[in-house]
């Protein structure tokens, strides 16, 4: 049959795959390295940008290959601290979100791993969407490349805490992280990359066995199976005791310290008894705890006020691990933890305005805000530890327990 010739989707190729493809065209391997540099570290979205490639080679590329990218639909900046929520459209029309969180000492991108999520946590807007499909590894990577292109700022930290459960899309996530970490890729250090799981044990075991160097976060959120199953149905399959056993196995290797995320819901999991149970569960485990006051999303839960959060912090003080309260930023634009719901028909927030043109003002405004915040931070913030997630932010003076990370 004589259909149109399918062009090679270059971003779907690994570095080795790209080299094989280029040499298959009869070109020298160094051409592949040039091309890779354009596609990944430089984030080119067209062959015409690749000015140091010969005109002839570019013409061959145009004929045989294509550069697909996520299309930016919108970029909404939060009024409470500069987080930017990006809504992207995949080539098949599915929509996903990423969040850029600039801080004085780091620039974090929170990336999505799936379109929606099938795990249905009762408090999470992404869970409400249900699962559409896994993202391909290039779609995970392209979120970071796209954020860099749009903001003009090179990300320093990655958290896989956007839409989806990364351990249910294990291979694609690990492939994407490998390129982010690759010195010839985005060159982001492995300790600056964090994967967050709701507790999918087979993925956790694989992550442990394969000795993946990235940091691990586990969303615990409840300390009894009854409550955890109610708010996180994944707990039925992977209950707390089994999850903790898997985490302990992970933590056995030196230098591994898991971060537990604990979303605080007023009157549900923030009692003294909950604190005591949490202490018992985590005793002796090298870990950190991120307390995340619930961000209004779905499920009608209550966000605890500062007093309740302080009280809970006091109760878990005996834990000799760093505890950080993450008051999420970006809630006003639906970019805080658990609020990402850009892909499906059941949006919880109205669809943002379409804006196709590159948002030049975004760049300069971000730069201005970052400057202002660095000054603020210099006077008011001493702590500069631990990772951030979603559109998380740390309030000064909210730490208890042992040393910095
Ligand atoms: N699926 C993975 C990663 C994405 S969710 C996971 O569950 O870990 C990222 C984090 O957001 C998790 O710790 C989750 O517990 C938290 N989260 C979800 N909904 C939230 C909400 N409404 N308020 C605060 N945190 C929320
Ligand atoms: Fe999925 Fe994580 Fe949301 Fe649960 S909290 S529904 S696992 S994205």
Is pLDDT at 378 greater than 90 in this prediction?
A: no
Q: Do 145 and 22 share a structural domain?
A: no
Q: What is the pLDDT of residue 230?
A: 98
Whole-angstrom Cα distance, residue 218 to residue 137?
22
- Is residue 110 annotated as a catalytic residue, yes or no? no
Q: Do 187 and 57 share a structural domain?
A: no
- Of all protein residues, the one whose alpha carbon is nearest to atom 4 of ligand 2 is 121
Q: Which of 119, 262, 343 to mutate to test ligand 2, by most ligand atoms within 8 A of the CB atom?
A: 119
Q: Is residue 393 very low, low, confident or very high in pLDDT (cuts 50, 70, 90)?
A: very low
60-119 pLDDT per residue, tens: 999 999 999 999 999 999 887 689 999 999 999 999 999 999 999 999 999 999 999 999
Q: Do 83 and 62 share a structural domain?
A: no
23-29's contacts with Cβ under 8 Å and 24+ in sequence apart are 25/60, 25/64, 27/57, 27/60
Residue 109 placed within a domain:
yes
Residue 403 placed within a domain:
no
Catalytic site residue from 90, 124, 287, 337: 337
Q: Do 258 and 156 share a structural domain?
A: yes
Instruction: Tell me how many domains the chain contains.
Output: 2
Q: What is the pLDDT of residue 397?
A: 31
Q: Is residue 369 very low, low, confident or very high in pLDDT (cuts 50, 70, 90)?
A: low
Residue 237 placed within a domain:
yes
Residue 310 placed within a domain:
yes
| Contact partners, residue 117, CB within 8 Å, separation at least 6 | 124, 126, 127, 129, 130, 131, 163, 164, 165
Whole-angstrom Cα distance, residue 255 to residue 297?
35
Nearest CA to 175 out of 37, 38, 388, 12 is that of: 12
163-198 pLDDT per residue, tens: 999 999 999 999 999 999 999 999 999 999 999 999
Q: Do 290 and 253 share a structural domain?
A: yes
Residue 354 placed within a domain:
no
Length in residues, the chain: 405
Q: What is the pLDDT of residue 135?
A: 98
| Contact partners, residue 169, CB within 8 Å, separation at least 6 | 113, 114, 134, 135
Task: Output phi, psi for 321, to 5 deg.
Answer: -135, 155
CB 266 within 8 Å of CB 303: yes
358-368 pLDDT per residue, tens: 343 455 445 55
- CATH of residue 154's domain is 3.20.20.70
Q: Do 82 and 62 share a structural domain?
A: no
Q: Do 95 and 58 share a structural domain?
A: no
- CATH of residue 53's domain is 1.10.150.530
CB 102 within 8 Å of CB 90: no
Q: Which of 115, 128, 196 to mutate to test ligand 1, by most ligand atoms within 8 A of the CB atom?
A: 196
Q: Do 117 and 249 share a structural domain?
A: yes
Single residue among 66, 99, 114 that ends a domain in this structure: 66
Q: Do 242 and 308 share a structural domain?
A: yes
Q: How many whole angstroms from its chain centre is CA 403? A: 25
Q: Do 125 and 17 share a structural domain?
A: no
* Domain containing residue 59: 9-66
Q: Would the pTM count as exceeding 0.75?
A: yes
Whole-angstrom Cα distance, residue 48 to residue 54?
11
Q: What is the pLDDT of residue 327?
A: 84
Q: Do 195 and 241 share a structural domain?
A: yes
Q: Do 236 and 98 share a structural domain?
A: yes
Residue 341 placed within a domain:
no
Whole-angstrom Cα distance, residue 6 to residue 289?
49
Please tell me the number of the ligand nearest to residue 196's CA: 1
Q: How many whole angstroms from its chain centre is CA 90? A: 17
312-339 pLDDT per residue, tens: 999 999 998 999 999 876 666 666 666 7
Residue 227 placed within a domain:
yes
Single residue among 18, 40, 66 that ends a domain in this structure: 66
Report CA(121)–ligand 2 centroid distance (Å): 5
Q: What is the pLDDT of residue 266?
A: 96
338-355 pLDDT per residue, tens: 677 774 333 333 333 333
Q: Which atom of ligand 1 is nearest to the CA of 163?
A: 4
| Contact partners, residue 44, CB within 8 Å, separation at least 6 | 38, 50, 67
| Contact partners, residue 31, CB within 8 Å, separation at least 6 | 22, 53, 57
CB 109 within 8 Å of CB 155: yes
Whole-angstrom Cα distance, residue 32 to residue 15?
8
Please tell me the number of the ligand nearest to residue 259's CA: 1
180 forms beta bridges with none
Residue 159 placed within a domain:
yes
Single residue among 333, 348, 368 that ends a domain in this structure: 333
């Amino acid at each position: 049959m004589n259909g149109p010739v399918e062009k090679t989707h270059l971003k779907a190729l690994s570095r080795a795959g790209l080299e094989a493809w280029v040499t298959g065209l009869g070109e020298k391997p160094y051409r592949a390295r040039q091309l890779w540099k354009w596609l990944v570290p430089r984030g080119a979205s067209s062959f015409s940008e690749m000015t140091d490639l010969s005109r002839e080679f570019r013409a061959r590329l145009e004929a045989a290959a294509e550069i697909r990218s996520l299309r930016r639909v919108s970029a909404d900046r939060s009024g409470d601290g500069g987080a930017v929520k990006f809504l992207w459209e995949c080539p098949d029309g599915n929509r996903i979100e990423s969040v850029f969180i600039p801080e004085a000492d780091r620039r974090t991108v929170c990336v999505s791993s799936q379109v929606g999520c099938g795990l249905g946590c009762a408090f999470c807007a992404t869970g409400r969407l249900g699962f559409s499909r896994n993202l391909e590894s290039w779609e995970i990577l392209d979120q970071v490349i796209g954020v860099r292109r749009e903001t003009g700022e090179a990300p320093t930290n990655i958290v896989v805490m956007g839409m989806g459960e990364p351990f249910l899309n294990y291979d694609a996530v690990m492939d994407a992280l490998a390129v982010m970490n690759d010195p010839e890729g985005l060159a982001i250090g492995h300790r600056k990359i964090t994967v967050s799981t709701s507790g999918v044990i087979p993925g956790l075991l694989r992550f442990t066995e394969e000795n993946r160097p990235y940091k691990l976060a586990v969303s615990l959120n409840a300390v009894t199976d009854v409550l955890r199953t109610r708010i996180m149905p994944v707990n039925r399959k992977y209950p707390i005791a089994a999850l903790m056993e898997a985490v302990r196995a992970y933590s056995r290797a030196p230098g591994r310290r898991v971060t537990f995320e604990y979303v605080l819901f007023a009157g549900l999991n923030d009692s003294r008894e909950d604190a005591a149970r949490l202490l018992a569960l985590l005793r002796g485990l090298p870990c950190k705890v991120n307390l995340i006051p619930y961000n209004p999303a779905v499920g009608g839960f209550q966000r605890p006020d500062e007093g309740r959060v302080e009280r809970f912090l006091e109760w878990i003080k005996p834990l000799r691990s760093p505890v950080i309260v993450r008051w999420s930023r970006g809630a006003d634009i639906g970019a805080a933890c658990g609020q990402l719901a850009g892909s499906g028909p059941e949006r919880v927030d109205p669809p943002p305005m379409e804006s196709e043109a590159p948002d030049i003002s975004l760049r300069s405004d971000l730069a201005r805000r970052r400057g202002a915040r660095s000054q603020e931070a210099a006077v008011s913030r001493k702590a500069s530890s631990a990772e951030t997630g979603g559109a998380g932010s740390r309030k000064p003076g909210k730490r208890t327990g042992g040393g910095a990370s």
